[in-house]
Amino acid sequence: MAEKMEFFESKIVQDFNREIEQYHLGPLWNAIPDLMHKQPTPAAVPYLWKWETLHAKLMEAREIFTPDRGGERRAIYFQNPGLKQRQPWGWASTTHSLYAAVQLILPGETAPSHRHTQSALRFIMEGEGAYSIVQGERLFMEEGDFLITPKGLWHGHAHPGDTPMIWMDCLDIPTIYSIAGTFYENYPKKIEQPSVPDNYTSQRYAGGLVRPISDRYPKVAPLGSYKWLQTLAALEGLSRFEPDPYDGFAVEYINPSNGHTANPTIAAWMQKLPSGFHSKAHRHTNSVIYQVFKGSGYSIVNGVRFDWSKGDFLVIPNWAWHEHVANEDSFLFSASDLPIMEKFDLQQEEGYPENAGHQIVTDEFKPLLP
């Protein structure tokens, strides 16, 4: 080993490495240790953003930035501290494959319509009365609703109601960026006008239960909005039975025409952890972004305790050991890149092998200084 190190550090090798650079050539022997790990070693780190901070910053943004003035959404996104160095074009995503943000829209505001090759989802955290207009369908939003804007469809938001609304956005921006697949286009007018009745797909699909007989093979995901009361009813039904040892009572939002995830690249789940529930620890190749919709508790990620409560966001990077504990009945929304891992046939999962499936807490999370 020492001999090998000596060889790689020798002048003749170092000089050669530098020399071929001018031809835009690289020495594999230098790169391979960084590229080929025994197992995933994500640069993204586990991280927690508290609602207090998010809310305060959205309120400040409310004073200085309006979509009408800037023409963009009032969204503040989660920059994973571990990815800041790696993405030198000036931004950092939330996990390697996903972007997530909180977005605030005020009564009377309009977020202009546009379309792009990224898939998007929204989870409604607070408020009601605004709508997303997706390919001519106005989807009115209420707390706890889950919405998708599939890639390539026009979408914009407007708020005819009277209370501020805050939601979580999640898009596969880093994934599409890394394969240079971005197309983006603004709608010719500020906002698209309705071309079908309001909440059309929810009504035609009874929220996902059935499909109209004329709609056997829809080209795009046929359902735009998944209502909270229906999700809650599903979780209540499920919670009469045994919880999953890792995730409690969890359901996944699906495309009712094919049973796949509602977005082809981003899975979305709602899970209920009953008061006192302590899951076993496991890890998987996909990363997860959690939003605490209701309740409080903590998660242990790679031995570090993260205390969370309503409104907080928690990121679990790929292949990190994690387990959850609920102090009260808690509802966690999550978005993950599970379908991306599955499409590459890379999905793997394993339970924590020691200590009856529980990690030992070695530290408590503290926000990192910039």
**HEC profile for 314-369?**
EEECCCCCEEEEECCCEEEEEEECHHHHHHCCCCCEEECCCHHHCCCCCEECCCCC
Closest CB to ligand 1HN among residues 170, 341: 170
Closest CB to ligand 1HN among residues 73, 159: 73
- CB of 152: closest distance to ligand 1HN in angstroms? 12
CA proximity to 93, closest of 188, 194, 207, 169: 169
Tokens matching residue 261? 């995830």
Report the alpha-carbon distance of residue 78 to residue 125 in Å, rounded: 16
- CB of 75: closest distance to ligand 1HN in angstroms? 5
Closest CB to ligand 1HN among residues 120, 292: 120
Tokens matching residue 185? 């286009």
**Other Cβ atoms within 10 Å of 56 Cβ, number:** 11
Closest CB to ligand 1HN among residues 73, 96: 73
Residue number of the CB atom closest to ligand 1HN: 169
Report the alpha-carbon distance of residue 192 to residue 147 in Å, rounded: 18
Whether 43 contacts 66, CB under 8 Å: no
Residue 18, SS3 per DSSP: helix
- CB of 170: closest distance to ligand 1HN in angstroms? 9
Closest CB to ligand 1HN among residues 180, 368: 180
- CB of 324: closest distance to ligand 1HN in angstroms? 27
Closest CB to ligand 1HN among residues 112, 256: 112
- CB of 184: closest distance to ligand 1HN in angstroms? 8
Report, in this order, helix, strand and coil percent for the chain, each rounded to 5: 20, 30, 45
List residues near ligand 1HN by CB under 6 A.
73, 75, 101, 103, 111, 116, 120, 155, 169, 171, 173
Report the alpha-carbon distance of residue 80 to residue 94 in Å, rounded: 5
Report the alpha-carbon distance of residue 269 to residue 300 in Å, rounded: 20
Report the alpha-carbon distance of residue 139 to residue 122 in Å, rounded: 12
CA proximity to 128, closest of 10, 227, 269, 203: 227
Closest CB to ligand 1HN among residues 141, 301: 141
- CB of 43: closest distance to ligand 1HN in angstroms? 21
> What Cα–Cα distance (Å) separates residue 29 from each residue in 5, 19, 23?
11, 15, 17
- CB of 101: closest distance to ligand 1HN in angstroms? 6
Chain-centroid distance, C-alpha 239:
25
Closest CB to ligand 1HN among residues 158, 300: 158
- CB of 149: closest distance to ligand 1HN in angstroms? 6
CA proximity to 147, closest of 120, 165, 172, 174: 120
- CB of 48: closest distance to ligand 1HN in angstroms? 22
Closest CB to ligand 1HN among residues 130, 332: 130
- CB of 281: closest distance to ligand 1HN in angstroms? 33
CA proximity to 367, closest of 317, 294, 312, 297: 312
Closest CB to ligand 1HN among residues 66, 239: 66
